[in-house]
Amino acid sequence: MKTKILKILRRNQEEYVSGQELCEQLGVSRTAIWKAVKQLKEMGYVIEAVQNRGYRLIEIPDILSEGEIESQLHTKWLGHVIYYFDELDSTNSEAKRIAETVDSQNWHGAVVVADMQTSGRGRRGRGWSSPHGTGVFFTILLKPEMDPGNAPMLTLVKAMAVLKGIEEITGLHPEIKWPNDIVLNGKKIVGILTEMSAQIDYINHIVVGTGINVHQLEFPEEIAKTATSLDLELQQSGHNIAISRAQLLDAVLQYFEHYYQIFMQTQDLSALMEEYHTMLANRGRRVRVLDPLGEYEGTALGIDQRGQLLVERNGEIIKVSSGEVSVRGIYGYV
């Protein structure tokens, strides 16, 4: 009921909503309304109550909770099932556990969210710092009808959605560092990890995990030179914007719905390549390809319709698949 009250108060944030109106809309007693509002206040919501006028939402705290996320959600189908945890080992790990124990009809499009991860991880097993109250750590759980070989492209689809969501909420202009990072001013702000369980021609499930650095003001020593956060970047740009992590999550999910629909029509990136290239930090830059079979340098030209990075080396165009390969800038991280 708290979620429903939040939605109503948000819709009418410039005016009061009477207790009687809330009772009629929700089919509960005035006492039940009073108790729910009291609980919301205890969570940090500032709600003004005026006799004979009703309730008005004055201030919304930046908390991630199931109710806060659901009250902000504007998607058509994605995230209509939310699994929220104050603390979790990894949202990807939990999503895989759900996929293995719950009927898939009930979890396609579900979103697992954690306020903190104790074992967050990125690509190639790297750790991901995920302290309480600082970021948006979430995983989308999918069961698409498509060839398993197309699954890695969802990392690029997710990157586009995250970038657009950040732009909408903050006004900042991040870039994609192929294949799975979002960067601002040359520093990493988002990491994406896509994992799949499949048979030869059948997908059991795909989990697309994302970590967004929002409120961090400092980082562990080993990543301090290459990582940043939205708050840090806003401070440096002179903007004073209070970011709602639930609102940011909603924006990203809406954009993912949009790009995912386009992707599924062709099951490749042919319809998204042009827009993706406008977001790509590597394009036109000299890069170092860190391939286990041998490192080499070249110029990144963009991606093909399979999401492979095209690198020109001594007049030859090499198609680089993500896999175990990493790409770094010649003079820095990007």
Strand runs labelled E in 33-185: 46-50, 54-59, 82-85, 111-114, 135-142, 175-177, 181-184
Say if 249 falls within a structural domain. Answer: yes
Say if 112 falls within a structural domain. Answer: yes
Residues 50 and 77 in one domain: no
What pLDDT score was predicted for residue 11?
Answer: 84
Residues 177 and 83 in one domain: yes
Residues 85 and 105 in one domain: yes
pLDDT tens readout for residues 6-57 = 889 988 888 899 989 999 899 999 899 999 999 889 888 899 989 889 999 9
Token readout for 12 is: 């009418």
Say if 248 falls within a structural domain. Answer: yes
CA distance 159 to 176: 7
Say if 170 falls within a structural domain. Answer: yes
CA distance 330 to 261: 36
CATH number for the domain that contains residue 11: 1.10.10.10
What pLDDT score was predicted for residue 325?
Answer: 72
Residues 207 and 175 in one domain: yes
Count how many Cα atoms sit within 13 Å of the Cα of residue 249 in the half-sphere of its side chain.
33
Confidence at 158, pLDDT banded by 50, 70, 90: very high
Say if 44 falls within a structural domain. Answer: yes
Residues 27 and 147 in one domain: no
Q: Which of 57-71, 82-96, 167-181, 188-202 has the lowest mean pLDDT?
A: 57-71
Residues 202 and 300 in one domain: no
Q: Determine which helix (DSSP H) or strand (DSSP E) holds 319, and give its type and residue range.
A: strand 316-320
Say if 334 falls within a structural domain. Answer: no
Residues 71 and 54 in one domain: no
Neighbours of 231 (CB within 10 A): 18
CA distances from 73 to 63, 77, 89 (A): 14, 10, 25
Neighbours of 128 (CB within 10 A): 21
CATH number for the domain that contains residue 295: 2.30.30.100
pLDDT tens readout for residues 201-255 = 899 999 999 999 999 988 888 888 889 999 999 998 888 888 999 999 999 999 9
Say if 6 falls within a structural domain. Answer: yes
Confidence at 177, pLDDT banded by 50, 70, 90: very high
Residues 234 and 201 in one domain: yes
What pLDDT score was predicted for residue 45?
Answer: 87
Residues 160 and 292 in one domain: no
Residues 104 and 20 in one domain: no
Query: 67: Cβ–Cβ under 8 A, 6 or more apart, which residues?
Result: 2, 3, 6
Residues 26 and 77 in one domain: no
CATH number for the domain that contains residue 103: 3.30.930.10
What pLDDT score was predicted for residue 120?
Answer: 67
How many domains would you assign to the chain? 3
Residues 242 and 203 in one domain: yes
**What residue numbers bound the domain in which 321 lies?**
283-329
Say if 216 falls within a structural domain. Answer: yes
